[in-house]
Amino acid sequence: MATPYEFPNDLLAGQEELHQVRAELSALLKRLPWSVAPMDGFSDDTGWRKVERPASPGWTEDEQAEVEKLRRREHELAVFVSTHRFWAEVAAPDRVEIRTRLKHAPERTEE
């Protein structure tokens, strides 16, 4: 498909924010302990590979609230982007390719 699409500004903004929220959530989850609740460490080498985890102090209430807030916003943005009225204008066979173009669209410059 060679037809270029002009994405509406609100759709581009929603996609950009979705990328940002997902990056922020991913970075937060990498920093947090592996278990939400306090858990003892363990080591298990009876399976096909050895699994080890250090003791986890768990997440604080603030950390849990931040993860929940980001997950909720991620969901809202994913719904907004995927159900945007723009998609009704795109032929069904072309939607996957155009959706991919939106995901990789360069960041907008503020006017």
* Amino acid identity for residue 101 in this structure: R
Q: Give the pLDDT of the chain (111 residues) as one tens digit per residue.
A: 445 678 999 999 999 999 999 999 999 999 999 999 999 999 998 988 999 999 999 999 999 999 999 999 999 999 999 999 999 999 999 999 999 999 998 765 444
Q: List phi, psi (to 5°) of 55.
A: -60, 145
DSSP-assigned letter for residue 83: T
Residue 105's pLDDT is what? 85
Distance from C-alpha of 103 to C-alpha of 82, rounded to nearest angstrom: 11
What pLDDT score was predicted for residue 52?
Answer: 94
The string of DSSP letters for 15-60 reads: HHHHHHHHHHHHHHHHHS-S-SS-B--EEE-SSSS-EEE--B----
